[in-house]
Amino acid sequence: MNNSRRNFIKTAGALAIGSTLPISLVELAFAESSQNFTFAYISDAHIQHIKDNRFVRNWDRGLIRAVAETNLLIPKPDFVVFGGDLAQLGSKAELDHGAEMLSALNGDVRHVMGEHDYYLDLGEYWEKLFGPQYYSFDHKGVHFVALNSIKTYDDWTYKRWPTAQQRMLEMADLDNPNGSPFMVGEQQRLWLKDDLDKVDKDTPVVVFSHSPLQKIYKGWNFWTEDADQVQALLEPFKKVSVIYGHVHQIQYNQTGNISFNSVMATAWPWPYPQSYARAEQYLPKLTVPMNRADPFFERDATGWQFINLADGNADMNFTLYSNTSRIVRYNDKQNRPEDAVYQDEKARIVPQTHY
Amino acid sequence: MRYILLLTLVLIAMVAYRQGSAKLLTGSEVYPQSVSNENNRLGLPPLPIPVNNPQTPAKIALGDKLFHDKRFSVDGTVSCSKCHDDKRAFTDGLPVSVGHHGLPGTRNAPTVLNAAFNHSQFWDGREPDLEGQAKQPLINPVEHGLSNHNQMLEIIRTDPDYLSAFQSVFAVNAKKLTIDHVAQAIASFERTLVSGDSPFDRYYFKGQTGALTEPQYRGFQLFIGQGRCVSCHTIEQNLALFTDGRFHNIGIGINQIQQDIPRLTQAFLEAKNKGENVDKIVLTDKKTSELGRFAVTKELSQVGAFKTSTLRNIELTAPYMHDGSLKTLKEVMIHYNNGGVNKAGEQVNAFLSGGIRPLNLTDEQMNDLVAFMKALTSAQYAIPNRSQ
């Protein structure tokens, strides 16, 4: 943690609290006190309908727990973002059940579209529940944009599949030769350009997308086909943070003025692509991967996070179950996000020795 | 790796079962008492002893005396053994312990038996070792009720027998005596209270197939199978402590305060920031007590989580759970079978640990599991003529 920011730590109690607490009475303040705020981020719940009123219990419990824990945050987050993939196969039952669990959250919730929410009815029911598929808003001097980044070629979406169910299943599959890469698409990029044209270039911009707006591994759609074009629209701004779900693991990167941070899933962890890749993969070198999940603990390597928007940069505070919580914080000397503890090679946890 | 271990255990058990099936079918054998006396540590790991507190007979004897001395309390009625009674397998048989002047605490007295193996002490693990643990109840307002440790040291300083014992054990005079010496002596005594050698140990580690009754054997299969007990109450290849030393929210206590959790966590953090003592807060406020491990780590994922207790000698330590809210082992089975609620269909708490889920056990299966629990009683504490 750099000194300039440490100086701004305020505590509600008499004693200073360590900087590594996942929950605390700490508020990170920056020069403009009107800009002090945190928001929470829950993502990738993958609520899955079995039949009648039965849903997969483990996914339910993950979301219920993240919601309950988010409600305990002190100070209260200004709002909560749900980062997409609320449903597993996009059905009304799944979206309704997920929305019901999310309704226990205190405060406003902003939604991001995930492919598991979208490819059954192309977002029609989701829109009824949560509003437009892409939008922007301003909050305490920061311009926020939510994109639907999981669209794809019209030909694949509209002409390829005999049923909506099959379309949904094909897109839900990994390493699927019938799959198709995600993209924001021209229509949304035009809207984004128009939206950003009205924003001062000194204003911090935070973009929420479901898929990474960078190319990491195509086989699992850790990928957005038109990421370069979207990045080009964001480049003129001094401080940009892109926060994405979908990957179910900690990733972070810095490209020019754009910081990238992923968020955790409440449902299950994915392995890192280099452990499996049959094709080229581009996990950012900056990223210190998470510990390999211990399959013995159902919630290991899942979690949620709250985000301090400190000086317009996103500091990610990951709450991880059965594991050490992690903080990935923007280092304003190096101009990039860094793990608060493990960034240095020597500080990393040595892999376990198995017999 | 654990899956492989589990698989190995199952295979070993299956082989053992086949070898012993003839005997099992013809009824249980009576285990000869003389053999058990040879090694009452069967099934236990080597005793961990801190480098700075080696065991000596004189120190153990001093700790024994301190452990049983009622004078170290504000009304002269509370010794360590009041709640950790030798005659009740070092528990008190009450739902929650009662301190000086009949003041109730908030938690069930855990047995001292095999506490020497714990990774941490107290239900929430707020002390790392027996030495640290021994100091807290003395000055807790609802236990021994002393204002400070010096009150205890003053009593010792006026007792020639104690003074000479401390002199010979620690080479300290009255002036140099500290509470740490007291704690070390008590901890040394407690390290002698270790006990394995249950019917399970003789069955599992010595291959004595007649050691378990048929219901106990069926219960063991459920313990490592459908009941999923072994996930936390661990059994290893050459030893079994029946605890993972971790903290889990299993839906006890916390279920009753769900609406209050946001208020309680905030109030607790504020109190802790102001320097309030955790030991005092959690034992004097019933609702705050239910926050469990959270009170120690401030980790949101630990709300309502308590330490996995050992199952050794569990038959002797009723009532059960951190708040003593379940009277019998059968009630405990029902709670787990319901997936973390006392009554089927009740709403589980939001912070429930991932491993707790409905088990779909039949009543007979739950009875078998209870029978297996009763195979975990050490020979030296076995109840004679138990009806089985």
Give A24's pLDDT tier (boundaries 50, 70, 90).
very low
| Shared domain check, B292 and B208 | no
| Cβ-based contacts of B303 with chain A (< 8 Å) | 69, 72
Arithmetic mean of pLDDT, A32-56: 88
The per-residue pLDDT for A13 is 28
**Residue B272: which pLDDT band, with cuts at 50, 70 and 90?**
confident
pLDDT of residue A78: 92
Task: Give the C-alpha separation, A72 to A106, whole Å.
Answer: 10
CA-nearest of B90, B58, B82, B176 to B138 is B82
Residue B323 lies in a domain: yes
Q: Flag whether pLDDT at B191 surpasses 70.
A: yes
Cβ <8 Å between A297 and B355:
yes
Determine the structural domain holding residue B131 and report its residue range.
57-190
| Residue B7 counted as domain residue | yes
pLDDT band at A2 (very low <50, low <70, confident <90, very high): very low
Residues of chain A with pLDDT > 90: what percent? Answer: 76
Of the candidates A230, A95, A97, A99, which has an alpha carbon nearest to the alpha carbon of residue A168? A95
From B361, B341, B358, B338, select the one nearest B349 (Cα to Cα). B341
Contact in structure between A196 and A147 (CB atoms under 8 Å): no
CB spacing of A299 vs B354 below 8 angstroms: yes
Rounded to whole angstroms, the Cα distance separating A62 from A47 reads 10
As given in the structure block, the two tokens for residue B153 are 């040291």
Q: Using only the alpha carbons of chain B, give its radius of gyration.
A: 22
B337 and B231 in a single domain? The answer is: yes
CA–CA distance, B262 with B303 (Å, rounded to integer): 11
Domain boundary among B139, B167, B190: B190
Q: What does B48-61 look like in DSSP terms, one character per residue?
A: P--TTS---HHHHH
Same domain, B94 and B146: yes
Model confidence at B28, pLDDT cuts 50, 70, 90, reads very low
**Residue at A192: amino acid letter:** L
Residue A75 binned pLDDT confidence (cut-offs 50, 70, 90)? confident
Facing residue for B2 by CB, picked from A64, A69, A296: A296
**In this structure, are B337 and B226 located in the same domain?**
yes
Say what the pLDDT of residue A354 is. 57
Report pLDDT for A27: 41
| pLDDT at residue B358, rounded to an integer | 94
**Confidence (pLDDT) at A355:** 53
Number of H helices, E strands in chain B: 16, 2
Can you tell me the distance from the alpha carbon of B139 to that of B280, in angstroms, rounded to the nearest whole number? Answer: 9
Task: Say if residues B314 and B91 touch (Cβ distance below 8 Å).
Answer: no
Same domain, B166 and B271: no
Instruction: Name the residue facing B262 among A13, A71, A296 (closest C-beta).
Output: A71
Q: Give tens-digit pLDDT for B213-240.
A: 999 999 999 999 999 999 999 999 999 9
Instruction: For residue range B47-94, list pLDDT tens digits in order.
Output: 999 999 999 999 999 999 999 999 999 999 999 999 999 999 999 999
B299 in contact with A, Cβ within 8 Å = yes
Query: Predicted confidence band at A291 (pLDDT cuts at 50, 70, 90)?
Result: confident
Do residues B208 and B342 share a domain?
yes
Which two tokens mark B258?
């769900």
The tokens describing A246, both together, are 């979908």
Spell out which chain A residues touch chain B, with contact meaning CB-CB distance below 8 angstroms. Answer: 11-15, 17, 21-25, 57-58, 61-62, 64-65, 67-69, 71-72, 74, 295-299, 319-322, 325, 354-355
A256-279: average pLDDT: 92
Q: Do A298 and B352 touch (CB under 8 A)?
A: no
Read off the pLDDT band of B10 (50, 70, 90).
very low
* Confidence band, pLDDT 50/70/90 cuts, at residue A278: confident
- pLDDT recorded at residue B32: 38
The CA distance from A33 to the nearest CA of chain B, in Å, is 23
B317: Cβ contacts below 8 Å, ≥ 6 apart: B88, B89, B91, B110, B111
Per the CB < 8 Å rule, is A69 touching B231? no
Judge if B134 and B231 occupy the same domain.
Answer: no
User: Among A114-128, A241-255, A296-310, B229-243, whose mean pLDDT is lowest?
Assistant: A296-310
Grade residue B386 by pLDDT with cuts at 50, 70 and 90. low
The 8-class DSSP code of residue B85 comes to B
- How far is it, in rounded angstroms, from Cα A23 to Cα B351? 15
Q: Are B331 and B323 in contact (CB under 8 A)?
A: no
Helix (H, G, I), strand (E, B) or coil at A259: strand
Distance, CA of A297 to CA of A278 (rounded, Å):
28
* B3 vs A269, more confident: A269
**Looking at residues B306-334, what average pLDDT do you find?**
98
**Residue B345, phi-psi category: left (phi > 0), alpha (psi -120 to 50), beta (remainder):** left
- The verdict on a CB contact (< 8 Å) between A13 and B231 is no
Give the distance from CA B211 to its chain's centroid.
24
Per-residue pLDDT for B118 more than 60?
yes
In B205-344, alpha helices (H): 214-223, 261-273, 278-284, 286-289, 294-297, 329-337
- Residue B247 has what pLDDT? 96
Q: What is the mean pLDDT of residues A31-55?
A: 86
In this structure, the answer to whether residues B99 and B185 fall within a common structural domain is yes
In DSSP notation, B91-155 reads: B-SSSS-B-GGG-B-SSPPPP-TTGGG-SSBSTT--BSSHHHHHHTGGG-TTTT--SSHHHHHHH
Predicted local confidence at residue B11, as pLDDT: 47
Lowest mean per-residue pLDDT among A141-150, A177-186, A209-218, B268-277: B268-277
Q: Which of A10, A25, A56 to probe by mutation at the B interface, max B CB count within 10 Å?
A: A25
Residues B242 and B375 in one domain: yes
In a domain, B370, yes or no: yes
Q: Which residues, at least 6 apart from A159, have a Cβ–Cβ distance to it below 8 Å?
A: none
Q: Tell me the torsion sign for CA atoms A14, A15, A16, A17.
A: negative
SS3 content of chain A, % helix, strand, coil (to 5): 25, 25, 50
* 8 Å CB contact between A221 and A179: yes
Query: Is residue B99 located within the same domain as residue B163?
Result: yes
Give the number of domains in chain B. 3
Are A67 and B270 within 8 A, CB to CB? no
pLDDT digits (tens, 9 = 90+) for B92-112: 999 999 999 999 999 999 999
Q: What is the ipTM of this complex?
A: 0.85
Nearest residue to A112 via CA among A244, A258, A259, A303: A244
Looking at B144, B171, B190, which one is the last position of a domain?
Answer: B190
Answer yes or no: do A296 and B231 touch at CB < 8 A.
Answer: yes
Using a CB-CB cut-off of 8 Å, the residues of chain A touching B353 are 299
Nearest to B79 by CA among B68, B90, B87, B89: B68
Q: Are B91 and B118 contained in the same domain? A: yes
Distance of CA A265 to the CA centre of its chain: 8
- Number of neighbours of residue B247 by Cβ within 10 angstroms: 24
pLDDT value of residue A203: 95
Compute the distance between CA of residue A239 and CA of residue A241 in angstroms, rounded to an integer.
Answer: 7
Instruction: Write down the pLDDT at residue B29.
Output: 37
Cα–Cα distance for residue pair B129/A30, rounded to 1 Å: 42
Q: Where are the domains of chain A?
A: 38-343
pLDDT of residue A4 exceeding 70, the answer is no
* Residue A205 backbone dihedrals phi, psi, to 5 degrees: -115, 130
The whole-number average pLDDT for the span B106-129 is: 98
Around Cβ A200, how many Cβ atoms within 10 Å? 8
The three-state (H, E, C) secondary structure of A212-237, written as one string: CCCCCEHHHCECCCCHHHHHHHHCCC
Asked whether the predicted pLDDT for residue A3 surpasses 50, the reply is: no
Claim to verify: residue B69 and residue B109 sit in the same structural domain: yes
* Residue B1 pLDDT > 60: no
Q: What is the pLDDT of residue B254?
A: 95
Q: Average model confidence (pLDDT) for chain A?
A: 88
Supply the DSSP string of B175-216, one letter for each residue: TT--HHHHHHHHHHHHTT------HHHHHHTT--GGGS-HHH
> The whole model's pTM is what?
0.87
The pLDDT, as a whole number, for residue A321 is 84
What is the DSSP secondary-structure string of A49-107?
EEETTEE-HHHHHHHHHHHHHHTT-SSPPS-EEE-S--BSS--HHHHHHHHHHHTTSSS
Give yes or no for a contact between A243 and A261, defined as CB atoms under 8 angstroms apart. Answer: yes
Predicted confidence (pLDDT) at residue B328 exceeds the cutoff of 70: yes
User: Average pLDDT in the B177-186 region?
Assistant: 98
Residue B384 to residues A112, B139, B379, B387, Cα–Cα distance (Å): 66, 38, 10, 9
Give A253 to chain B, closest Cα distance, Å. Answer: 27
Q: What mean pLDDT comes out for the span B330-353?
A: 95
In the CATH hierarchy, which fold is given to the domain comprising A38-343? Purple Acid Phosphatase; chain A, domain 2 (3.60.21)
Flag whether residue B355 sits within 8 Å of chain A, measured between CB atoms.
Answer: yes
The CATH number of the domain holding residue B75 is 1.10.760.10
